[in-house]
Amino acid sequence: MEAGVTFRRGDYSPLVLAYMGDAYFETLAREYLVGDGNCKPSLLNDRAKEIVTAHSQSAMVDRLLPLLTDEELAIYKSGRNSKSAHRSKSASAVEYRRATGLECLYGYFWLSAQYDRARELFLRGVE
């Protein structure tokens, strides 16, 4: 990220935030799994899939909602309520929308350089 970039919520649509958040969330998952020690990449990939699926992300939302600030909750809701042309084949519509909201929140964390907050919530969500 370019030094000095100021994030303003209106600069990005919720689906653009979710796009960025999807990548950032997966990076946090991989970092978390690698932190457990060295193992085969195929095992790491299998474990990562358990964390980054819409079903798992939706379950994580339940654990995180009580911890969110008002601003974070508003950003989550903007992502959850966004209309996307894409649909998940392996998750319900509700799970998919909740996962999109979570990814939107993580895109916000990335673009606003709130890395510590993102990591804190990620760890609380996977525990």
How far from 103 is each of 5, 11, 38, 43, 77, CA to CA, in Å?
Answer: 21, 17, 27, 24, 11
- Is residue 22 among the annotated active site residues? yes
DSSP state, residue 67: G
Which candidate in 22, 46, 70, 116 is catalytic? Answer: 22
The answer to whether 79 and 17 have CB atoms below 8 angstroms apart is yes
Known catalytic residues are 22
